[in-house]
């Protein structure tokens, strides 16, 4: 039990899904290594924010690392940065990517003394007397955790601030990744429950009875399914009579971001016009050298127009640019079916895939038809 002492505001940072040492296998080797350095730099930026804002407690809700074993460079950085925040207490709830296993960094005991790593699947309470706080958490001990860590549990009601730090699936029955129903969050009754596992942040939400919870989202996106500017939640617990009032704010941290843009090409029949529209969208949205941009082309295009398949993102001031063609060719099928030239033969050979194939096969066949017709017409089929 936390000692009964005079309450003061407690500053908390909620983070997780950081995935240090991610491989970035889709990038070229030099850019993969650059992105790993950038991820470590973003982590250092977060630690600087912790010192600047005089944070008392940091809740790292799992997947701090991308795997259970960590490079020596990352391990040294982690120890250095956490030791530099000596007055702050760190709590780590290992997740499915970085479970608590023998031989892993968590189990070796090499982290500074101000770091607590939960090591059991059982819900564990750790008192922080200096902050009049109890922190509850659990650990993945393998890539799966099929239990329900909060089921039937209740937070202590002794006037202390109660926090939860955990890696979990909220509201996903029978999940393999720690099943936490919203009703369990409400029944447990912590003042704030810090979760990770879903990489898109959620609003801070009341599960019921004033029990607040949120997913922090990733610190920095690593792919297009993690869009936007990553960050963390800054939480302040303010004494309010016999209880606590919770205030939260979003802290942006990411050095790079992934963004997805849809561009309708209906009526467009030149690569120059496509380039102009992409540039206008980049400028309008303020995308720059920190941006990985995926442009998805939609709409209807002439059958003999080859929609560009690649482009140089650096020419637009971007980190990377990826083009995805989801357009539909507008051709006269009846004419092509009867056409006795090479154009008709090309169409007839692709027709089964155009009409009966899987969505991926139809898209590939449509692109092949456009490229073939464009080449036969003598048009440019090179990229932007």
Closest CA to 274 of 304, 318, 303, 306: 306
What are the start and end residues of each CATH 3.60.21.10 domain in the chain?
Answer: 10-252
- Looking at domain 10-252, what is its CATH homologous superfamily? Metallo-dependent phosphatases (3.60.21.10)
Q: What are residue 271's phi and psi, to 5 degrees?
A: -65, -30
Find the radius of gyration of the CA atoms of the chain: 26
Element (H, E) at 237: strand 231-240
Report in angstroms the alpha-carbon separations of 101 from 106, 107, 121, 137.
8, 6, 12, 16
Order of strands across the sheet that contains 124-128: 124-128, 133-137, 161-167, 192-196, 212-215, 205-206
Q: Is 103 helix (H, G, I), strand (E, B) or coil?
A: coil
C-alpha 306/C-alpha 66 separation (Å) is 39
pLDDT at 108: 92
pLDDT at 94: 98
pLDDT at 140: 98
End-to-end CA distance of the chain: 66
pLDDT at 220: 94
Please write the tens of the pLDDT for every residue from 230-248: 999 999 999 999 999 999 9
C-alpha 10/C-alpha 191 separation (Å) is 12
Q: Which residues make Cβ contacts (< 8 Å) with residue 102, sequence separation at least 6?
A: none
**Beta 205-206 vs 212-215: how paired, if at all?**
antiparallel
Instruction: Answer yes or no: are the C-beta atoms of 171 and 201 closer than 8 Å.
Output: no
Tokens of 368: 């092949």
In this prediction, the residues of the chain whose per-residue pLDDT falls under 70 are 1-5, 330-336, 377-384
Q: Which residues make Cβ contacts (< 8 Å) with residue 334, sequence separation at least 6?
A: none
pLDDT at 151: 97
pLDDT at 326: 84
C-alpha 210/C-alpha 189 separation (Å) is 7
- By 3-state DSSP, what share of the chain in percent is helix, strand and coil, each rounded to 5? 30, 25, 45
pLDDT at 1: 46
One DSSP character per residue, 37-82 reads: HHHHHHHHHHHHHHHHTT-SEEEE-S-SBSSSS--HHHHHHHHHHH
C-alpha 279/C-alpha 277 separation (Å) is 5
Total-model pTM: 0.83
Q: What are residue 345's phi and psi, to 5 degrees?
A: -65, -40
pLDDT at 372: 80
């Amino acid at each position: 039990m936390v000692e009964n002492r005079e309450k003061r505001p407690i500053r908390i940072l909620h983070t997780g899904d950081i995935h240090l040492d991610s491989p970035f296998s889709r990038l070229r080797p030099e850019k993969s290594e650059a992105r790993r350095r950038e991820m470590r730099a973003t982590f250092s930026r977060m630690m600087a924010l912790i010192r600047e804002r005089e944070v008392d407690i940091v809740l790292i809700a799992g997947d701090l690392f991308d795997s259970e074993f960590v490079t020596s460079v990352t391990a040294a950085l982690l120890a250095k940065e956490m030791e530099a925040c000596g007055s702050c207490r760190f709590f780590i709830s290992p997740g499915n990517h970085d479970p608590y296993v023998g031989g892993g960094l968590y189990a070796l005991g090499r982290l500074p003394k101000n770091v607590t790593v939960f090591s059991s699947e059982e819900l564990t309470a750790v008192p922080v007397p200096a902050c009049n706080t109890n922190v509850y958490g659990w650990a993945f001990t393998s890539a799966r955790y099929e239990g329900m860590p909060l089921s039937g549990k209740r937070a202590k009601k002794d006037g202390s601030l109660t926090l939860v730090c955990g890696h979990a699936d909220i509201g996903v029955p029978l999940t393999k990744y720690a099943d936490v129903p919203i009703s369990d969050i409400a029944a447990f009754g912590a003042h704030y429950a810090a979760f990770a596992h879903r990489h898109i942040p959620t609003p801070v939400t009341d599960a019921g009875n004033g029990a607040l919870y949120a997913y922090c989202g990733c610190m920095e996106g690593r792919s297009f399914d993690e869009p936007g500017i990553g960050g963390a939640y800054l939480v302040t617990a303010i004494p309010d009579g016999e209880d606590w009032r919770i205030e939260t704010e979003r802290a942006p941290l990411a050095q790079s971001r992934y963004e997805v843009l849809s561009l309708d090409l209906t009526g467009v029949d030149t690569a120059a016009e496509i380039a102009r529209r992409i540039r206008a969208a980049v400028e309008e949205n303020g995308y720059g050298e920190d941006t990985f941009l995926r442009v998805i082309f939609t709409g209807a295009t002439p059958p003999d127009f080859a929609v560009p398949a690649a482009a140089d993102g650096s020419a637009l001031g971007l980190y990377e640019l990826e083009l995805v063609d989801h357009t539909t060719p507008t051709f006269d099928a009846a004419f092509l079916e009867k056409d006795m030239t090479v154009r008709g033969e090309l169409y007839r050979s692709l027709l089964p895939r155009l009409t009966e194939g899987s969505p991926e096969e139809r898209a590939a066949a449509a692109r092949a038809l456009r490229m073939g017709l464009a080449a036969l017409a003598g048009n440019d089929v090179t990229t932007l």
